[in-house]
Chain A
């Protein structure tokens, strides 16, 4: 059992959701990067769902920002969602780094999927 899973959910069709749960730091950041690479390779929009995440550090932000840059270069939408009740170990670093409007970060997964779909010029846009 992996207490800190990162899995791809492609139930939304042209937008793939990278579901990140548990604690994530320098140890799991390489796995997150692999999953994000795979999500980008699929060619559509990308949503990173941190609703089930309890802790993320700057290693995770680095992975997210790299993926975002590459997604935008490829005209793929990129959106992070955090759910309605956000863990302090996730909300705090997003707040104090000012990255909420940059990544960007929204609450719900459905809204994130909509934005990722319309932001990109891929198959769905």
Chain B
């Protein structure tokens, strides 16, 4: 991989309409780096889920900032998605238009080659994920998404897929 691209930092209000903008910026960077379409699709999915977590969970009812860094080296792209919000615990907030399914972090873990979650209550949260440009295999096989949807409509990581709720 000889192509180069500048490191990118995006800072924007943590609002739903911003997530597509992050995907567009990522697609532009991946184009400059000549990233394989399959890897780019996984990057887009994972970064969308990380940004969605910030939009939905980070800032109660107040405004806040979504920060995304994209850092490329010869072998991989590292994406950091950061907020300065209340902490990392996803909430089931039924008052919102879009209740969380609870699938975001399992998807990020499955799609990326490595994945870290940093943060503590009151200090904000950073999701750090790395995607290799050249894959030996499918990262999903290393970290498959466990479980299926439960009777309450949320993701149940302990549920068996052989007996889907119906």
Q: A27-B17, A65-B101 are in contact. Are A96 and B107 (CB under 8 A)?
A: yes
- C-alpha spacing A33/B37, complex, angstroms: 30
Q: Would you call B110 and A26 a contact (CB within 8 A)?
A: no
With an 8 A cutoff between CB atoms, is B87 at the interface?
A: no
With an 8 A cutoff between CB atoms, is A74 at the interface?
A: no
Q: Main SS of the interface on chain A? A: helix
A66 → chain B closest CB, angstroms:
5
With an 8 A cutoff between CB atoms, is A42 at the interface?
A: no
Chain A: number of interface residues, binned into ranges: 20 to 34
- C-alpha spacing A30/B17, complex, angstroms: 12
Give A57's nearest chain B residue, CB to CB.
Answer: B48
Q: A27-B17, A99-B148 are in contact. Are A58 and B107 (CB under 8 A)?
A: yes
Q: A26-B19, A96-B140 are in contact. Are A63 and B37 (CB under 8 A)?
A: no
With an 8 A cutoff between CB atoms, is B82 at the interface?
A: no
Q: Would you call B52 and A59 a contact (CB within 8 A)?
A: yes
A66: chain B residues within 8 A (beta carbon): 99, 153
A29: chain B residues within 8 A (beta carbon): 97-98
With an 8 A cutoff between CB atoms, is B44 at the interface?
A: yes
Contacting residues of chain B (7-23) with chain A, CB-CB under 8 angstroms: 16-17, 19-20, 23
- C-alpha spacing A99/B159, complex, angstroms: 13
Q: A89-B45, A96-B110 are in contact. Are A26 and B52 (CB under 8 A)?
A: yes
B41: chain A residues within 8 A (beta carbon): 88-89, 92
A1 → chain B closest CB, angstroms:
16
With an 8 A cutoff between CB atoms, is B56 at the interface?
A: yes
- C-alpha spacing A33/B16, complex, angstroms: 15
B31 → chain A closest CB, angstroms:
16
B140: chain A residues within 8 A (beta carbon): 96
Give B143's nearest chain A residue, CB to CB.
Answer: A96
Contacting residues of chain B (77-126) with chain A, CB-CB under 8 angstroms: 97-101, 103-104, 107, 110-111
Q: A29-B98, A88-B38 are in contact. Are A55 and B44 (CB under 8 A)?
A: yes
Q: Would you call B166 and A65 a contact (CB within 8 A)?
A: no
B160 → chain A closest CB, angstroms:
10
- C-alpha spacing A47/B20, complex, angstroms: 26
Query: A-B pairs with the 10 shortest C-beta distances?
Result: A62-B101, A27-B16, A88-B41, A58-B103, A30-B97, A102-B164, A26-B16, A26-B52, A98-B161, A57-B48
Which chain A residues have a beta carbon within 8 Å of chain B's beta carbons? 23, 25-27, 29-30, 33, 55, 57-59, 61-63, 65-66, 69, 72, 88-89, 92-93, 96-99, 101-102
